[in-house]
Amino acid sequence: MEDMIKVAALGGLDESGRDCYVIEINNDIFVLDCGLSLPDKTIPGVDYLLANAHYLINNKERVRAYIMTHAHDENMGALKYFYDYAPAPIICTSFTKKIIETQFIFNKLKVPLDFIIVPPTSSLEMASRKLHFFQTAHNAAYSFGVAIETTKGNIVYTSDFIVDYSVKTPAFIFDIKALSALSEKPTFLLMSDSKAANLEGYCAPFHRLSPLIEKYFKTGNKRIVIDCFWQNFYRISEIIDLCKEFNKKMFFYNDFTRQIMELLMNLNPTRIPPSMVVKKEDLLRVREQDLVILLLGKGREMYEELIKIVDGTNEDKRIKLNDRDIFISAAMATPTLETIATRSNDYLYRTGAEVVLIPKSQLSSMHPRQDDLKFFLSVLKPKYYLPVRGNYVNLMANARLALSMGIGLNHTNVFILDNGMQLCFNEHGRPTILPNNPNEMPTHPILVDGRGVSTNISENIVNDRRQLSVDGVVIVALSVSLKEKRIIAGPDCQMRGFVYVKEAEPLLKSISNIFVDEVTTALSVDNTNFDEIKVNARERIRRFIKRENGRDPMIIPLIVVK
């Protein structure tokens, strides 16, 4: 019997992050990654945007496994939310398992998880179906892609990768032999990362930090302070290697950095010799020119910590940047972090330290460029091709590249989808694309504020916050006696973030008069409906303010009934 196949994205298409792809084969669902993304400034008060698990919750009895390809938030950050409501075994490497558990500890989450640990290159049978994993070179250690066997051929998901033949560190090798073995069987559908598909050539060697900063370690006449995102394990590994090569001592800036580095040391005890690590109490005993201070962080928190160092409000007052320091930024800001990154860089220049900012034109993130993608396409020669992971411009660049390869891919077997659209293959292998049905498969992000993943907030709340941040708020209040049918106190009108109150007395008076008029009129009839009064007053005041000064503040009418 031929397999019936359905492929859909719950996140990750036409966006950066929130990667989550659903593979349905007959009655079995395999989930590839469960990610989050960071909000931009248009979503105030929100910490994370999670992929939407509604479809999986409604079909939880069919979910066979979550396959976590590597330890990055955009791939695993929503796992707790998914697992709570639709539990299933989590397939990952031992390294990824440790990072997931560490994330849960950081966020004070206590949920027992069902892990199935696999080597990055291996095979596993799940739900009477063979899964083949192949190690990929990415900045997350021991990352892998996956091939799921079907009667029509393999469904291959590359996740993040680059083609790099020169890596010797086992955590970051690209297993070409495993990929070659996959090519011996037909590839029915290939799903490839698109984030750098608009860039020519190979990513390697432009992903390497070491050649760009080696000279600062070599000269050895200044103390080095260097920052890095905590999940960029490849760059952390490069920094460690440079310290070992040039006999530098490493000091871990804060408790968070120490926790992450201790985790890495426990996973690979020989990676960092204990003699290379400076204890907290020994910081001032090491010569400045022999010292490298490492700061690891996540998102905004890392840049905020840099600003604290410059301001002198950081916890360890012994660490203060001056003209005897070199500050190197090994953290490339994502689009949602560029504003605060620019501000922190501006602060750093005020210290007198030599500031080294590496432009993106010289240092690439480890995502496949056009020649990397061509390599996968030419080796696997898929019957169908689905670009994933990236904004629309990246998906299109990936699709156009596939069309140019001359391997039988054309406009009938290369697909560009949106989140929630379903790519279906019947028993004969013919494809059909179903439009997104928000009732069946909603893909709007789950908005989370605070550290609790269960603390969901609605779009209405975000809209209120956005309105408050742009136009402020007007609060108008009074008290009425229901028995006497009259106003007994007020009105009192307050404004915040709207206009300067002392210069707005006429406006305050007009708003108060509108409110009084609306309440007085309503009190003159029987069965006074105070909810209706508030709605009518809010609308009249809104129209008045819009007409007077073109603003649209949040309006909150309050009536105290006595």
Tell me the CATH number at 526: 3.10.20.580
Crossing angle (nearest 10°) for helices 210-219 and 233-245: 30
Residue-wise pLDDT tens digits, 453-470:
444 566 677 777 777 777
- Look at residues 168, 236, 224 and name the one whose alpha carbon lies nearest to residue 354: 224
DSSP letters of 22-54? EEEETTEEEEE---EE---TTSTT--EEEPP-H
pLDDT at 450 over 70: no
* C-alpha to C-alpha distance for 76 and 103, rounded to whole angstroms: 10
The reply to whether 396 and 257 lie within a common domain is no
Task: Output the pTM of the full model.
Answer: 0.86
The reply to whether 128 and 276 lie within a common domain is no
The reply to whether 219 and 164 lie within a common domain is no
Question: How many domains is the chain built from?
Answer: 3
Q: Which two tokens stand for residue 177?
A: 């032999």
The last residue of one of the domains, among 434, 459, 484, is 459
The reply to whether 244 and 131 lie within a common domain is no
137 found inside a domain = yes
Q: Give me the pLDDT at residue 290, please.
A: 94
Q: Give me the pLDDT at residue 523, please.
A: 84
Band of the pLDDT at 48, cuts 50, 70, 90?
A: confident
466 found inside a domain = no
- In sequence order, which ranges of 51-146 are alpha helices (DSSP H)? 54-58, 73-76, 79-85, 94-106
Lowest mean pLDDT segment, chosen from 166-170, 434-438, 513-517 = 166-170
Lowest mean pLDDT segment, chosen from 89-93, 259-263, 453-457, 459-463 = 453-457
Q: How large is the average pLDDT for residues 322-329?
A: 94
pLDDT at 186 over 90: yes
Which residues, at least 6 apart from 6, have a Cβ–Cβ distance to it below 8 Å? 22, 23, 24, 422, 423, 424, 425
Q: Is the dihedral of CA 118, 120, 123, 128 positive or negative?
A: positive
Lowest mean pLDDT segment, chosen from 55-64, 251-260, 522-531 = 522-531
Q: Give me the pLDDT at residue 10, please.
A: 96
Tell me the CATH number at 169: 3.60.15.10
* C-alpha to C-alpha distance for 365 and 381, rounded to whole angstroms: 26
pLDDT at 277 over 60: yes
Band of the pLDDT at 502, cuts 50, 70, 90?
A: low
Lowest mean pLDDT segment, chosen from 16-25, 38-47, 87-96, 395-404 = 38-47
Which class for 467: exposed (0-12), middle (13-18), buried (19 or more C-beta within 10 A)? Answer: middle
Tell me the CATH number at 295: 3.40.50.10710
The reply to whether 156 and 276 lie within a common domain is no
Which class for 345: exposed (0-12), middle (13-18), buried (19 or more C-beta within 10 A)? Answer: middle
CB 142 within 8 A of CB 235: no
Band of the pLDDT at 169, cuts 50, 70, 90?
A: confident
* C-alpha to C-alpha distance for 455 and 362, rounded to whole angstroms: 40
Q: Give me the pLDDT at residue 505, please.
A: 80
Q: Is the dihedral of CA 534, 536, 540, 546 positive or negative?
A: positive
Q: How large is the average pLDDT for residues 47-72?
A: 94
> What is the chain's mean pLDDT, rounded?
90
The reply to whether 242 and 349 lie within a common domain is yes
- Look at residues 5, 148, 155, 138 and name the one whose alpha carbon lies nearest to residue 74: 138
464 found inside a domain = no
Cβ density class 122-138: b for 16+ within 10 Å, e for less: eebebeebebbbbbbbb
DSSP letters of 375-425? HHHHHH--SEEEEESB-HHHHHHHHHHHHTT-SS--TTTB----TT-EEEE
467 found inside a domain = no
pLDDT at 165 over 50: yes
Note down the domain range covering 378.
5-203+365-459
Residue-wise pLDDT tens digits, 421-438:
999 999 999 999 999 998
The reply to whether 25 and 60 lie within a common domain is yes
The reply to whether 454 and 492 lie within a common domain is no
301 found inside a domain = yes
Q: Give me the pLDDT at residue 87, please.
A: 94
Residue whose entry in the numeric block shows the structure tokens 């603003």:
551
Q: Give me the pLDDT at residue 117, please.
A: 97
Band of the pLDDT at 270, cuts 50, 70, 90?
A: low
Residue-wise pLDDT tens digits, 340-376:
999 999 999 999 999 999 988 899 999 999 999 999 9
The reply to whether 64 and 145 lie within a common domain is yes
The reply to whether 26 and 129 lie within a common domain is yes
Which residues, at least 6 apart from 349, have a Cβ–Cβ distance to it below 8 Å? 355
The last residue of one of the domains, among 309, 339, 357, is 357
Look at the chain and count its residues. 562
